[in-house]
Amino acid sequence: MRKRNNKASQKPRRRATADDDRKITALNLKPEELTPEMTSYFAKCEEKLGFIPNVLKAYVFDMAKLSAFVAMYNDLMLAPSGLSKLEREMIAVAVSAHNRCYYCLVAHGAAVRQLSGDPPLGELMVMNYRAARLSPRERAMLDFAVKLTAEPWLVEEDDRARLRGAGFSDRDIWDIAAVAGFFNMTNRIASATDMRPNSVYHGQAR
Amino acid sequence: MRKRNNKASQKPRRRATADDDRKITALNLKPEELTPEMTSYFAKCEEKLGFIPNVLKAYVFDMAKLSAFVAMYNDLMLAPSGLSKLEREMIAVAVSAHNRCYYCLVAHGAAVRQLSGDPPLGELMVMNYRAARLSPRERAMLDFAVKLTAEPWLVEEDDRARLRGAGFSDRDIWDIAAVAGFFNMTNRIASATDMRPNSVYHGQAR
Amino acid sequence: MRKRNNKASQKPRRRATADDDRKITALNLKPEELTPEMTSYFAKCEEKLGFIPNVLKAYVFDMAKLSAFVAMYNDLMLAPSGLSKLEREMIAVAVSAHNRCYYCLVAHGAAVRQLSGDPPLGELMVMNYRAARLSPRERAMLDFAVKLTAEPWLVEEDDRARLRGAGFSDRDIWDIAAVAGFFNMTNRIASATDMRPNSVYHGQAR
Amino acid sequence: MRKRNNKASQKPRRRATADDDRKITALNLKPEELTPEMTSYFAKCEEKLGFIPNVLKAYVFDMAKLSAFVAMYNDLMLAPSGLSKLEREMIAVAVSAHNRCYYCLVAHGAAVRQLSGDPPLGELMVMNYRAARLSPRERAMLDFAVKLTAEPWLVEEDDRARLRGAGFSDRDIWDIAAVAGFFNMTNRIASATDMRPNSVYHGQAR
Amino acid sequence: MRKRNNKASQKPRRRATADDDRKITALNLKPEELTPEMTSYFAKCEEKLGFIPNVLKAYVFDMAKLSAFVAMYNDLMLAPSGLSKLEREMIAVAVSAHNRCYYCLVAHGAAVRQLSGDPPLGELMVMNYRAARLSPRERAMLDFAVKLTAEPWLVEEDDRARLRGAGFSDRDIWDIAAVAGFFNMTNRIASATDMRPNSVYHGQAR
Amino acid sequence: MRKRNNKASQKPRRRATADDDRKITALNLKPEELTPEMTSYFAKCEEKLGFIPNVLKAYVFDMAKLSAFVAMYNDLMLAPSGLSKLEREMIAVAVSAHNRCYYCLVAHGAAVRQLSGDPPLGELMVMNYRAARLSPRERAMLDFAVKLTAEPWLVEEDDRARLRGAGFSDRDIWDIAAVAGFFNMTNRIASATDMRPNSVYHGQAR
């Protein structure tokens, strides 16, 4: 049996894996000067979140790419949708769990914990969404998103019919597909570049 | 043995699979009015391509999403890069072949045929890029893109080192990852919505 | 946006991938003299097709093997059967697509285009047969053939029952299995030897 | 601990799984009259083996198919080749083990036991050829055959080079590919039709 | 056609693969002295089986590990349970077949042959349990055990419901899971150490 | 952008996923009376950990099974070994991550956080051990354990040689295999029974 938790803090730290001490990605890319629009966006991040998410810093080598990423991200995750913000984050994490993407699991796992006020739910999305107690709507949504991630070539009308049967509109189906698709993109950019999440996420909403 | 090609045209057509006769996706989404920016962009497509790619029409239900998609697509595929336009299209098709995405294989297979002036190269990207006679640079690029597609969780420093060994800069590595990532997104949106390509692609550059 | 098709012909050719300029397989095998039977068969190919399919040339190192291959091929693909010739070619391509066999996809993709008079149908068989608009009979046939290709150990009575439910006789089931099995053989011989298709297939029935 | 073997014979038989009591396949196919050539071939089987292998009986519904099968089988497995008969049977079993084909594992597992005089070798081919003590030549041959079975799209020049490095000629490479390909065909026909092996194989060469 | 079985014994032996001539595992581990409890257990094995199973000899380097293994094994496989001993051995072999574990397939394949008095049943469990004529109860049990082996993350309430529908109690479900789990452990220890079975198993209950 | 963490606590809780409010497994199994040995062991757990791990409670329906499990667990994870306790827990989590086992990831993820004093290390083991900054020894150990989990049939002498090259003794190799094997067992028992972890783990050592 392991010792109680409260003694753990007395142990010497094994090694520094804190992600903040390190480069954000494995690539050496020279930063561009932030555009006024992006300067203001980064300031808003600092104000609302208390930090700049590392994925944004990873993109500062090219303002056109940064702007396009921010525009798509904010539209997908924050614009009005038949999917709640929590539902969109649940998709993000279930997709990233299939793809075993460290960056996205850390950052969006924290988001699920925060938005739900239910820390184990964040863990369940990371570990195996099938073990979570989900509503039929949530389960249909995540089953679709994960099948689309794992075997997109098998997605057919029956799959869309199951979503409609769970109460989703055609517009909702687009949004589920678009969020699942987006994280299939970012998971791969993060894995390809060894992108490291801000350490602050680890302790959020535990 | 089958009859010669020139008799085939006398056969009655088996059925109409022509994609233009049908809805562009399986979803019923009400079009929004095009913004002036998008009106002008669509006009430019008509002028340069002779048609509006169906993926753009699929997005007209929401101008914010259409704009974000166009901005990201044009930056990735057309902006200056260490990768040629043909190389980016080869990535697009090799990724889409792994994901067996009908829309993207038809549209971007045509692009590879056009940009290369080498129709069998387009077929090879669709069927099995490993059977193509590729330069070491091209092969390294596609091996990275397809591994990132199939098993992103296995991509590590050794994989980046192989790209550097084949002459790619860190900026090029980002671009390979970003193009591969992007088609992992669009393949899934297309499969989720049963998006159908413009028929015109089939005959292009054969 | 890419330039219009009609300008592509002005581009310098990137490289010669034309399959006819090259050896038919990666193996150096000394041709035997054709038997009279095979001489006559080759003459019939020239007459009806306008060329000798490369797979036949690949076998000329051994007349016993060539004869056995031709006998089995012609029986399976051309003899009377409850399956139409087009149906048999659709199985050939769907199986070869699972196995990503360049030779068979090029040669039999052309056959599907020719026999159907529907070029996109050939592309659909190559790219993802599930995206095609198929009759329930065709779909059941291809689902069986592809499951038999991908996971033969899972094929059971339920699978045969589905074929019978779609109108196939027991004799038809044998023929579906035999055609699917045959292309699982030839796909592997072609891949093992890097067999290259005749260039002429690429332009057929587009 | 289980009781000793010699008491097992006193136990009542649990159920009749003896394959001879049953139909040879799950398909109802009306037998044709044997051609004189096949009548004589079947007589030779009876004389040399003591029985007619069920696969041959499964084909008696169509003499053209039976003849083509027999011609190809006998050429591949019995004709002169750089591969010994045992080596060809080892490929047959290793391929059939990947495909988990009951018929072929029973029939060709017995052949490996007989031809090698080494019963455990037959078991090893059935269970996991990687656990067998093989010569480098045998291992290279089986690695090629099983890769070609599992992922034919990945077989490339490096794989052929490994065979050449293990002493195989180009003609031998063809034969390895052809035998592996053939069992990928027959495994699927056997699985598709639920073909049952002759019971006599089970006790052979134990 | 191969020669009759009775001539095989005249062939010179190809090589000695007899497992008894060799080390039991690939690891050099110094044996400890048997405890009195284990001395007596080994004596009982000799008396009842006629030999000491190699897995027990593999553990003699550490009496604590040997005792824990024996306690768990005997409880699972021999203690009273709603599952018969044969059913537990069938699970053992079907799981080991998925994992292609030579040791466990040889040892427990023999057990299925003995306990059932039906040698082909043992072969079917090794080769493909889906090809066996099983009762609905047996089939449900093995489907659960093999799904739990292949994709444990997909096992859910529906799977347990199917077992209950086939007549299994909750306690039986535990036992199925525990036996399947146990062989997922021992398969891996055997594969990791290249554990070799006693030769005597090969000829048992044929 | 999401709101700051400190506001999250004001949100109403979405739903109760707290694992303590629920049955420990999906099975209804009647508890037996604890033996004196197990009464004392449970008391020791309460004293040292502050709670009884749910896996132990799941076993109270059968004292023989509980004792055997505890004996094997304590020997593997706590007895002297060339592997540190942290290394054994890292194996436990990397294996459980492959198998996506909620119970084991929660319980042993907490153990890695505690034993290492490095919370992100626990997350890395859960999410993708390949993204962690590991010593060559740790990486070799986890690569072996995860290969043994995913494809045990491919583990061979080369894999053992890599462990020896990283400084592991033959006894250490046994211990790596035994710990990896053990969690392949418990992952499956937990998944088969829907075992739920104690809630207290979620907040430990964050």
Residue D93 has a pLDDT of 98
For the segment E189-194, the average pLDDT, to the nearest whole number, is: 98
Given pLDDT bands bounded at 50, 70 and 90, which one contains residue B170?
A: very high
Q: Which helix (H) or strand (E) holds B5?
A: helix B5-8
Q: Are B129 and B90 in contact (CB under 8 A)?
A: yes
Q: Are D188 and D100 in contact (CB under 8 A)?
A: no
Residue C77 has a pLDDT of 98
D9 touches chain E (CB under 8 A): yes
DSSP calls for A134-149: --HHHHHHHHHHHHHH
D121 touches chain E (CB under 8 A): yes
D23 touches chain E (CB under 8 A): no
In B, which residues are within 8 Å of A177 by CB distance? 188-189, 192-193
Please tell me which chains touch E, using 3 or more CB pairs under 8 Å as the contact test: A, C, D, F
Residue B20 has a pLDDT of 57
Distance CA A86, CA A56 (A): 21
Phi/psi zone of residue A140: left (φ > 0), alpha (ψ -120 to 50 degrees), beta?
Answer: alpha
Nearest CA to E152 out of E124, E107, E126, E185 is that of E185
Residue E20 has a pLDDT of 57
Measured between CA atoms, the residue of chain A closest to residue C129 is: A153
Would you state the structure tokens that stand for residue B156, as one six-digit string?
Answer: 């590590």
The pLDDT tens digits along chain F (206 residues) read 554 444 444 444 455 455 555 689 999 999 999 999 999 999 999 999 999 999 999 999 999 999 999 999 999 999 999 999 999 999 999 999 999 999 999 999 999 999 999 999 999 999 999 999 999 999 999 999 999 999 999 999 999 999 999 999 999 999 999 999 999 999 999 999 999 999 999 999 99
Given pLDDT bands bounded at 50, 70 and 90, which one contains residue C16?
A: very low
- Chain A, 73 to 92: residues with Cβ < 8 Å from chain B are 75, 79
For the segment B162-169, the average pLDDT, to the nearest whole number, is: 98
A122-157 pLDDT, tens digit per residue, is 999 999 999 999 999 999 999 999 999 999 999 999
**Mean confidence (pLDDT) of chain E:** 93
| Amino acid letter, residue D110 | A
Residue F7 has a pLDDT of 42
Please tell me which chains touch B, using 3 or more CB pairs under 8 Å as the contact test: A, C, D, F
Residue A17 has a pLDDT of 54
E109-124 pLDDT, tens digit per residue, is 999 999 999 999 999 9
Residue E15 has a pLDDT of 52
Contact residues for B152 (Cβ-Cβ < 8 A; gap 6+): A99, A100, A101, A187, A188, A191, A192
Calculate what percentage of chain D has a pLDDT beyond 90: 89
Q: Kindly report each contact of residues F52-57 with a partner whose C-beta sits within 8 Å and lies 24 or more positions away, as own/partner.
A: F53/F107, F53/F198, F54/F19, F54/F24, F54/F103, F54/F195, F54/F196, F54/F197, F54/F198, F55/F103, F55/F107, F55/F186, F55/F190, F55/F195, F57/F24
CA distance E127 to chain C (A): 10
- Residue C8 pLDDT > 60, yes or no? no
Distance CA E176, CA E180 (A): 6
User: Which residue from D64, D79, D191 is facing C148, i.e. has the nearest CB?
Assistant: D191
Residue D15 has a pLDDT of 52
Given pLDDT bands bounded at 50, 70 and 90, which one contains residue A14?
A: low
Distance CA C116, CA B15 (A): 8
Given pLDDT bands bounded at 50, 70 and 90, which one contains residue A45?
A: very high
Phi, psi of D28 (to 5 degrees): -95, 100
For the segment A72-77, the average pLDDT, to the nearest whole number, is: 98
Residue F10 has a pLDDT of 43
Residue B6 has a pLDDT of 44
ipTM of the modeled complex: 0.93
**Mean confidence (pLDDT) of chain B:** 93
For the segment C125-148, the average pLDDT, to the nearest whole number, is: 98
- Residue D125 pLDDT > 50, yes or no? yes
C156-184 pLDDT, tens digit per residue, is 999 999 999 999 999 999 999 999 999 99
Given pLDDT bands bounded at 50, 70 and 90, which one contains residue D14?
A: low
Contact residues for D12 (Cβ-Cβ < 8 A; gap 6+): E117
Residue E21 has a pLDDT of 56
Residue B205 has a pLDDT of 97
D15 touches chain C (CB under 8 A): no
Distance CA F197, CA F55 (A): 8
Given pLDDT bands bounded at 50, 70 and 90, which one contains residue D7?
A: very low
A71 touches chain B (CB under 8 A): yes
D127 touches chain E (CB under 8 A): yes
A150 touches chain E (CB under 8 A): no
> Does an interface of 3+ CB pairs under 8 Å exist between C and F?
no
F17 touches chain A (CB under 8 A): yes
Residue B11 has a pLDDT of 47
E5 touches chain F (CB under 8 A): no
Please give the radius of gyration of chain B, using alpha carbons only, rounded to the nearest integer.
18
Measured between CA atoms, the residue of chain B closest to residue C191 is: B131
A36 burial class (0-12, 13-18, 19+ CB within 10 angstroms)? exposed
Interface with chain D: mutation pick from F153, F156, F158, F160, highest number of D CBs within 10 Å? F153
Given pLDDT bands bounded at 50, 70 and 90, which one contains residue E19?
A: low
Nearest CA to E149 out of E203, E116, E188 is that of E188
In B, which residues are within 8 Å of F130 by CB distance? 153-154, 156
Q: CB distance A128–E156 less than 8 Å?
A: no
Phi/psi zone of residue B163: left (φ > 0), alpha (ψ -120 to 50 degrees), beta?
Answer: alpha
- Residue C17 pLDDT > 70, yes or no? no
- Residue C13 pLDDT > 70, yes or no? no
E139-180 pLDDT, tens digit per residue, is 999 999 999 999 999 999 999 999 999 999 999 999 999 999
In A, which residues are within 8 Å of C132 by CB distance? none
- Chain D, 174 to 203: residues with Cβ < 8 Å from chain E are 194, 199, 202-203
- Residue A18 pLDDT > 60, yes or no? no
Q: CB distance F75–E61 less than 8 Å?
A: no
Residue F18 has a pLDDT of 53
Residue D11 has a pLDDT of 47
Given pLDDT bands bounded at 50, 70 and 90, which one contains residue D6?
A: very low
Between B102-116 and B119-127, two packed helices, what is the crossing angle to 10 degrees?
A: 150
DSSP state of E39: H
Q: Is residue B1 classed as helix, strand or coil in its secondary structure?
A: coil
E122-140 pLDDT, tens digit per residue, is 999 999 999 999 999 999 9
Given pLDDT bands bounded at 50, 70 and 90, which one contains residue E18?
A: low
Q: Work out whether the CA dihedral E74, E76, E81, E85 comes out positive or negative.
A: negative
Residue F20 has a pLDDT of 57
For the segment D142-163, the average pLDDT, to the nearest whole number, is: 98
CA distance F103 to chain D (A): 32
- Residue D196 pLDDT > 70, yes or no? yes
B24-60 pLDDT, tens digit per residue, is 999 999 999 999 999 999 999 999 999 999 999 999 9
Residue A15 has a pLDDT of 52
D162-171 pLDDT, tens digit per residue, is 999 999 999 9
Measured between CA atoms, the residue of chain A closest to residue F198 is: A120
- Residue B130 pLDDT > 50, yes or no? yes
In C, which residues are within 8 Å of B19 by CB distance? 120
